């Protein structure tokens, strides 16, 4: 199994989501792992919807917890939930503005084959701005049944997996009423992805394009 990142410093991370909680659900364990291993990393986060509401406050507190010791710079916009395709220009401008202020080592984003139009639309914008970067597309379990066959895995220790679930429950009270938003769903998917990469738990990602440097 190829393991990327060994010996490589991931000091600058970009994380984007269409909605508050997307980043934490899809890549919260990865952020905990990265930021816990290397204090002082910079995390530039962009969320397209939820600005000016209680959800923005949830997101600020949650990502601060998911990025311990990091220099977190969060922007939450006010695009309407479920209407991202109709606000393409605003979303594209936000992604390009994000790109202009950072040169990341890693980009965490939704998958291009996500069934939710907001997730998918944002994912399609990322390669237009982050052309020479490693972009990992995270997955979010939902009723659409759109989980696929991932290409990349980040193993999670049992402690990190449990911490991720605890932080999701603690910081997003607005989502607790949803039938899919529970410990079993989050840990269950992490357990399946862990089996697939010979770990106890893992988060899985899609990779659209990857450049190797095997002789470096």
Residue 42's pLDDT is: 97
Radius of gyration of the chain measured on its C-alpha atoms = 16
Q: At what angle do helices 158-171 and 183-196 cross, to 10 degrees?
A: 150
Token pair for 1: 């199994």
Q: For 14, how many CA atoms within 13 A lie in the half-sphere containing its CB? A: 27
Superfamily per CATH, domain 12-207? LmbE-like (3.40.50.10320)
pLDDT tens by residue, 125-158: 999 999 989 999 999 999 888 999 999 999 999 9
Q: What is the pLDDT along the chain (216 residues), one digit of tens a residue?
A: 444 554 557 889 999 999 999 999 999 999 999 999 988 899 999 999 999 999 999 999 999 999 999 999 999 999 988 888 889 999 999 999 999 999 999 999 999 999 999 999 999 999 999 998 999 999 999 988 899 999 999 999 999 999 999 999 999 999 999 999 999 999 999 999 999 999 999 999 999 888 877 876
What is the model's pTM? 0.94
Question: SS3 for 14-79, per residue?
Answer: EEEECCCCHHHHHHHHHHHHHHHHCCCCEEEEEECCCCCCHHHHHHHHHHHHHCCCCEEEEEECCC
Residue 10's pLDDT is: 83
* Domain layout of the chain by residue ranges: 12-207
């Amino acid at each position: 199994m190829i393991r990327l990142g060994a010996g490589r410093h991931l000091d600058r991370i970009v994380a984007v989501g269409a909605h508050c909680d997307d980043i934490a659900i899809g890549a919260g364990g990865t952020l905990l792992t990265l930021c816990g291993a290397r204090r002082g990393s910079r995390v530039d986060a962009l969320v397209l919807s939820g600005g000016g509401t209680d959800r923005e406050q949830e997101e600020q507190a949650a990502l601060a917890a998911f990025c311990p010791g990091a220099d977190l710079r969060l922007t939450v916009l006010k695009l309407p939930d479920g209407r991202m395709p109709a606000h393409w220009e605003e979303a594209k401008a936000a992604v390009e503005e994000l790109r202009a202020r950072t040169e990341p080592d890693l980009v965490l984003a939704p998958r291009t084959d996500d069934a939710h139009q907001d997730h998918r639309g944002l994912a399609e914008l990322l390669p237009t701005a982050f052309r020479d970067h490693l972009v990992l597309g995270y997955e979010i379990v939902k009723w659409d049944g759109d989980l696929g066959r991932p290409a990349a895995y980040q193993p999670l220790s049992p402690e990190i997996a449990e911490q991720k679930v605890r932080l999701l429950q603690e910081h997003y009270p607005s989502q607790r009423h949803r039938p899919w938003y529970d410990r079993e769903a989050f840990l269950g998917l992490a357990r399946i992805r862990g089996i697939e990469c010979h770990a106890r738990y893992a988060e899985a990602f899609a990779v659209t394009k990857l450049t190797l440097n095997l002789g470096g």
